[in-house]
């Protein structure tokens, strides 16, 4: 049963719903953010009120939080109703909208922006926090990753033993941040992008890593001793299995591609197990996820099978390149640099495009010329530099498959065009 709310909170809910409906009617957006802003304006304590009585899991990371939260929500639904910010609105307004959408839900699976996690953890009283990774993202308007790690570290110091952290043992920034918490479950869910965690977050010395490419190899600081902790859960070195605390290896058959999603599933299964769900049941729920708000979705455009992939920063582009490099599909890349993307696109020079050379590629987006120079330097064959990302499809053989990798605003526009 939902908790009884005072008049001010009920007024906030009504005002938020009206604002969201107006936004949709005027085609200004889906309404989650503006509705949430209105709710919090009327009742700033509404998140705390709506969170009361729910078993909440907050998920935060630079990359993969939407996918992992979707998997956790699916697993939790095997036990009951779940409040979930399905569209990825992950700051205060999106969180309050998700909680308000199903007040009777006994569970919550809520993704939260990395910078906002400490505040959301305090306001919601969540009993489960999932900390996955910290890498560079939108540095012109966001925080440097070590600063985010410090914020998480300070948050962990304030947690009670009622809150359990599930943390990625393969990311040193996450390990250091989570260490002060009274209760931590370590999950070896992989960290293949290591450029943002080359130095020890404790003392600044260069970390030692085993260079085996598995993403779950041991790491340690030779100066202060900070090291990869012993894990309760982990993926196998070849990223084809999930090892549970009792030593059982589960074999995932995910609809989502790439080794990174095996890691996402591992931490989702671990989170679900913390809520009393059998790991095999939780994994079966993860296997039902086909796309995440359009990410990884397969559709058809002018007779061509098209798959949409989101690459928003160096780490996520690196993972997407591993997927498209083995797909055999034609490749279209799209780059914008608006506020939501980060206005400085110089990070593209850190993406290892060289691993795709001499693959042919079409380039589009508002910063297509920046991207074209980068790809040409990497040795890829530029087939076209076009304003419209779908223009290159006309020159392809009938029925040829296409992978489109786009950053945030470009991806949203493409999804609206091609997903019916």
Q: What is the per-residue pLDDT across 216-268, written as a single tens digit (0 to 9) for each? A: 989 999 999 999 999 999 999 999 999 999 999 999 999 999 999 999 999 99
C-alpha to C-alpha distance for 191 and 170, rounded to whole angstroms:
5
Assign domain 298-418 to its CATH architecture: Alpha-Beta Complex (3.90)
Q: Averaged over 170-187, what is the pLDDT?
A: 98
> Cis peptide leading into 358, omega within 30 of 0?
yes
Candidates 3.40.50.720, 1.20.120.530, 3.30.565.10, 3.40.1190.10; CATH matching 45-286? 3.40.1190.10
Provide the pLDDT for residue 395: 84
- 10: tokens are 């009920």
CA distance to 23, 66, 73, 102, 304, per residue, from 84 (Å): 20, 10, 7, 9, 33
Provide the pLDDT for residue 66: 96
The pLDDT > 90 percentage for the chain reads 89
Count the neighbouring beta carbons within 10 Å of the beta carbon of residue 204: 11
Provide the pLDDT for residue 284: 98
C-alpha to C-alpha distance for 236 and 341, rounded to whole angstroms:
33
Q: Averaged over 15-44, what is the pLDDT?
A: 93
φ, ψ of residue 7 in degrees (nearest 5):
-55, -40
Task: Report whether pLDDT(140) > 70.
Answer: no
Provide the pLDDT for residue 213: 78
Residues forming CATH 3.40.1190.10 domain(s) in the chain: 45-286
Residues forming CATH 3.90.190.20 domain(s) in the chain: 298-418
Query: What contacts 24+ positions apart, CB below 8 Å, involve 321-324?
Result: 321/351, 321/352, 321/353, 321/355, 321/356, 321/405, 322/258, 322/259, 323/257, 323/258, 323/403, 324/356, 324/403, 324/405
φ, ψ of residue 396 in degrees (nearest 5):
-90, 155
């Amino acid at each position: 049963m939902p908790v009884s709310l005072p008049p001010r909170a009920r007024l906030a809910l009504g005002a938020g719903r009206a604002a969201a409906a107006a936004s949709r009617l005027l085609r200004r957006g889906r309404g989650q953010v503006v509705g949430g802003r209105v709710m919090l304006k009327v009742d700033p304590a509404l998140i705390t009120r709506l969170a009361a009585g729910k078993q909440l899991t907050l998920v935060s990371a630079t990359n993969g939080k939407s996918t992992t939260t979707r998997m956790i929500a699916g697993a939790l639904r095997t036990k009951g109703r779940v409040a979930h910010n399905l569209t990825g609105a992950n700051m205060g307004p999106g969180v309050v909208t998700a909680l308000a959408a199903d007040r009777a839900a006994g569970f919550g699976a809520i993704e939260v922006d990395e910078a906002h996690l400490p505040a959301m953890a305090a306001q919601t009283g969540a009993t489960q926090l999932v900390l996955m990774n910290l890498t560079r993202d939108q540095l012109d308007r966001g925080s440097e990753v070590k600063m985010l790690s410090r914020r998480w570290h300070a948050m962990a110091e304030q947690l009670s033993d009622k809150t359990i952290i599930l943390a990625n043992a393969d990311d040193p920034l996450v390990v250091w941040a989570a260490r002060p918490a009274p209760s931590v479950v370590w999950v070896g869910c992989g960290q293949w992008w290591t450029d943002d965690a080359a130095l020890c977050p404790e003392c600044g010395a260069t970390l030692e890593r085993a260079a085996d490419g598995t993403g779950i190899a041991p790491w340690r600081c030779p100066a202060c001793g900070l090291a990869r902790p012993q894990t309760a859960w982990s993926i196998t070195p070849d990223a084809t299995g999930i090892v549970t605390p009792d030593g059982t290896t589960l074999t995932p058959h995910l609809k989502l591609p790439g080794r990174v999603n095996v890691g996402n599933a591992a931490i989702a299964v671990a989170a679900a197990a913390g809520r009393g769900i059998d790991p095999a049941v939780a994994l079966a729920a993860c296997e039902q996820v086909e796309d995440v708000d359009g990410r990884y979705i397969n559709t058809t455009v002018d007779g061509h099978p098209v798959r949409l992939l989101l690459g928003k920063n160096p780490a996520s582009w690196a993972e997407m390149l591993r997927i498209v490099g083995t797909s055999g599909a034609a490749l279209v890349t799209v780059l914008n640099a608006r506020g939501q993307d980060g206005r400085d696109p110089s990070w593209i020079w850190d993406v290892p495009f060289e691993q795709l050379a001499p693959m042919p590629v079409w380039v589009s987006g508002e910063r297509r010329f920046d991207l074209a120079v980068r790809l040409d330097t990497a040795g890829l064959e530029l087939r076209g530099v076009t304003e419209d990302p779908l223009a290159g499809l006309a020159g392809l053989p009938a029925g040829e498959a296409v992978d489109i990798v786009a950053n945030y605003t470009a991806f949203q526009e493409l999804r609206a065009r091609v997903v019916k």
